[in-house]
Amino acid sequence: MHRIFVITFKELVDALRDRRTMMVTLLTSIAAGPLFLTLILNMAANQAERARELKLAVDGAQYAPALIAFLERAQIAVQAAPADYEARIRAGELDVALVINADFAGDVAAGRAATVKLVYDRSRDRARASIDAAEGALRAYNRQWGTQRLLLRGIVPQVALPMEIEGIDLATPQQSGALILFLIAYYGLFASLMGGMALALDATAGERERASLEPLLATPASTLEIATGKWFAIACFDAAVVSLTLAGFYLTLNFAPLPAVGVPFLFGTTEFLRFLLVLAPLVALLPAALLYMGARGRTLKEAQANVSLLLFIVSMMPVVQLFLQKREPPWLLWVPISAQYTLLSRALRGDAIAPLDWLQSAIVPLALAALALVATGRVLRRESALGLR
């Protein structure tokens, strides 16, 4: 037991003195939250602003003065459309344009349906809010006009509008902003992998490459003690990186002057602690897995190639889950990473983590971590660990 801590202590001192790696790891982890949130929230705020202060480019405004007056009453800034409005919309400089035909008044007088064209490019995410707002305004005008006509003829509007659509959005403010939720959970997972990576590789393949492994193996420390000691150091560091990353999100969301976007979700102290709890099994597993893969590599380069597989798995699983968009099956809580992602999403929605669910999500990672440590010990005991053939 004593030897394990001797090894842990040495690995931590060794790692902390590696200034550059340390600075890069810590800075990127603490800066990730503020950076991402500022970008995303600004985007969201921008969209909300566009919807609220819609500027509508209109071609042929003079043909339908009543419609223009209605739009202006609805706080929409009507502007004359430039001649090349189609090109501009394609280029993304203009969100939406309204085109009114010259025979608008004529059609109305003749009792025909008058046509207006709304020109937009729906593939542009940024423009979507403006498009929806413009469409909504035109429909409202249509409905108002039709209703007035019916009333003039002594018919109740319900004859023509037998059904009323009433939308009830079930998303509480906390459940909105799905993208932001996804990113925070994703970043939490990612941090638990990246936090230990540099250290794990340095402690295994790096140790071999620097030719300090062979003398170490000739000491009374067993290979399992060596693996465990190194693992504990890496896990400590990993935990620190995860905490810093989450602290970055926490501080930004709670104290930074962010633009109000109307989708406040909770990431307070409770959520912060729940996140740490959910990620704890991964902070045990991922350093152990990294250690094993690092030990299998004969050189630092080989070890990096091994590790990129792990990186791929960890980064893909939540994305797959996001795109499947199904209700999670109960067995998913047995699967490492997916289970953590599921629980993190729950925590962000403001749900409590049931102790049994947490236990279920922790069993497999903890067992795998123990297995990886034993396997690392075995790899180090192999004669090829010395760089023999």
Partner 1 sequence: MIVVDGLVKRFGRKGEVAAVDGTSFVARDGAITGLLGPNGAGKTTLLRMLATLILPDRGSAQVDGLDIVRDRYRVRERIGVLSDARGLYARLTARENVRYYGRLHGLSGTKLEARIDELIATLNLDELADRRTQGFSQGERMKVAIARALVHDPAALLLDEPTNGLDIMSTRGLRELLRSLRAAGKCIVFSTHVMQEVSALCDTIVILGRGRVVASGDSAQLLAWSGKPTLEDAFVGLLGSGEGLAA
Binding site for partner 1 (CB under 8 A): 2-3, 6-7, 10, 13-14, 17-18, 207, 210-222, 383, 386-389
Gap between the Cα atoms of 370 and 292, Å rounded: 11
Which is nearer to partner 1, 18 or 132 (by Cβ)?
A: 18
Q: Which is nearer to partner 1, 111 or 215 (CB)?
A: 215
Nearer to partner 1, 181 or 303 (CB): 303
Q: Would strands 96-100 and 77-80 be described as parallel, antiparallel, or unpaired?
A: unpaired
Residue 58: its H or E element: strand 55-59
Contact of 369 with 284, CB cutoff 8 Å: yes
CB 217 within 8 A of CB 223: yes
CB of 291 to partner 1, least distance (A): 18
> Rounded distance, CA 333 to CA 330, Å?
6
Closest separation in Å from C-beta 10 to partner 1: 5
Residues 102, 362: Cα–Cα separation, whole Å? 69
Task: Tell me whether residue 179 or residue 386 sits nearer to partner 1 (CB atom).
Answer: 386
Rounded to an integer, what distance in angstroms lies between the CA atom of residue 361 and that of residue 283? 13
Closest approach, Cβ 233 to partner 1, in A, equals 13
Nearer to partner 1, 8 or 340 (CB): 8
Instruction: Scan for tokens 């250690």, then name that residue.
Output: 291
Burial of 154 (0-12, 13-18, 19+ CB in 10 A): exposed
The DSSP bridge partners found for residue 80 are 58
Q: Which is nearer to partner 1, 18 or 328 (CB)?
A: 18
Shortest distance, position 383 Cβ to partner 1, whole Å: 5
Q: Which amino acid is at 161?
A: L
> Which stretch of DSSP H or E encloses residue 182?
helix 178-201
Distance from CA of residue 133 to its chain's centroid? Answer: 27
| Identity of the residue, 279 or 379, whose beta carbon is nearer to partner 1 in the bound complex | 379
CA pair distance 233, 160, nearest whole angstrom:
73
Please state the closest distance from residue 216 (CB atom) to partner 1, in A: 8
Question: CB neighbours (10 Å) of residue 233?
Answer: 26
Q: For the CB of residue 348, give the shortest distance to partner 1 in the complex, in Å.
A: 39
Residue 357: CB minimum distance to partner 1, A: 42
The bridge status of strand 55-59 relative to strand 96-100 is parallel
Strands 77-80 and 55-59: parallel
Closest CB to partner 1 among residues 88, 298: 298
Q: The tokens of 136 are what?
A: 């909504």
CA 348 to chain CA mean position, Å? 12
**Smallest separation, CB 300 to partner 1 (Å):** 13
Q: To the nearest whole angstrom, how small is the minimum distance from the Cβ of residue 226 to partner 1?
A: 9
* Tokens, residue 137: 């305004």
Nearer of residues 17 and 326 to partner 1, judged by Cβ: 17
